[in-house]
Amino acid sequence: MSDDANLIERFLEMLVSETGASHHTLSAYRTDLEQASIITGGRLCTADREIVRQLPSHWRELQNSTVARKSSSLRRFFGFLVEEGFRDHDPSDALPKPGLVRSLPKTLSHGEIALLFQLIAEGLDCEPVKPATVRLSAIFELLYGSGLRASELVGLQRSSITGDKPFLIIKGKGEKERLVPISQQARVAVGRWAGFVDQKEKWLFPSRTGHISRIRLFQIIKEHAARAGINPAKISPHVLRHAFATHLLEGGADLRALQTLLGHSDISTTQIYTHIDSARLVELVNHRHPLSQLNLLR
């Protein structure tokens, strides 16, 4: 194993042991570092400022958010190398610090959500009902009704669901446990699906090798969207999570409550939704403030 490959592995092991980094986070770091290693000819761990300064020339076609992530990955890696004594200086000050403009999250309209659930309801009214339809109902109730991440949903255990409790206990990013409220409608949908799952199964959504994968979940969601007449490119489990957040804010929820429901450790992550909250606040001022009822231009 080359020095780069060996030190990248040690760095990733540190992230797991010290920060509890998720599989998705580790995969992103690995990709960024391995690509940089290839660009530098396998000399990333010994690269000087001149070599590091050349890296951004390979990122010209990438979005600012991706460039910022790659720069962050490399800064953290070089900091690790210095701290662990693998090199004596940190060249990451040669990396760019692009202004990061966060794009608004993709979401779905209330009408599109209604179409998705209407098709499920029609399937549940059929006799005999198909197990795949019952599973689909449980999946959509949890993704849109509770805002679960894809990884959280596929990793749900049967023991996470109890019929008399209005919440789930799930493990989110960094293996942190959090409580997720679950509606009565979702409990019914999940309970109905549980009846189709062998009681010996550990997972709520099992497969032949464990639980269904995130890739299979994406496929299930997109297949259903196509049947409902919605462009599959518009939807994913994460888009349903965004729709959950967006529609809650439109209904009057505040950002702090949303932060808790989404499992964000930092409110700044939740603030991507402030465009919705701000619009609601403007409407409140324009239509609910006492001065808005007075005609001052007489």
Q: Is 241 a catalytic residue?
A: yes
- Across the range 138-165, mean pLDDT stands at 86
Give me the catalytic one of 70, 211, 224, 241: 241
φ, ψ for residue 182, nearest 5 deg? -130, 130
Q: Is 273 a catalytic residue?
A: yes
Give me the catalytic one of 29, 135, 224, 273: 273
pLDDT tens string 265-279: 767 667 777 655 555
Of 134 and 95, more confident:
134
**109 has pLDDT over 70:** yes
Q: What's the pLDDT score for residue 289?
A: 58
- Across the range 113-121, mean pLDDT stands at 97
> 101 falls in which pLDDT band (50, 70, 90)?
very low
Q: What's the pLDDT score for residue 181?
A: 84
Please state which CATH number belongs to domain 110-254: 1.10.443.10
- Across the range 33-47, mean pLDDT stands at 93
Q: What's the pLDDT score for residue 106?
A: 77
Cis peptide before 98 (omega within 30 of 0): no
Q: Is 149 a catalytic residue?
A: yes
* Tokens, residue 181: 């409220």
Q: What's the pLDDT score for residue 125?
A: 95
> 201 falls in which pLDDT band (50, 70, 90)?
very high
Give me the catalytic one of 135, 173, 224, 242: 173
Please state which CATH number belongs to domain 3-94: 1.10.150.130
> 258 falls in which pLDDT band (50, 70, 90)?
confident
DSSP E strands in the chain: the ranges are 167-171, 177-181, 206-207, 210-211
pTM score: 0.62
Interatomic CA distance for residues 153 and 147, integer angstroms: 10
Domain extent listing, the chain: 3-94, 110-254
Give me the catalytic one of 76, 238, 247, 280: 238
Q: What's the pLDDT score for residue 261?
A: 83
Give me the catalytic one of 149, 158, 211, 222: 149
* Tokens, residue 229: 């007449």
**296 has pLDDT over 70:** no
**Who contacts 172 (Cβ-Cβ below 8 Å, separation ≥6)?**
149, 152, 178, 263
* Tokens, residue 149: 């991440």
φ, ψ for residue 56, nearest 5 deg? -60, -20
> 174 falls in which pLDDT band (50, 70, 90)?
low
Q: Is 176 a catalytic residue?
A: no
Percent of the chain with pLDDT over 90: 41
- Across the range 244-266, mean pLDDT stands at 82
- Across the range 235-262, mean pLDDT stands at 85
> 1 falls in which pLDDT band (50, 70, 90)?
low
Q: What's the pLDDT score for residue 103?
A: 53
Beta bridge partners of 178: 170
Q: What's the pLDDT score for residue 136?
A: 97
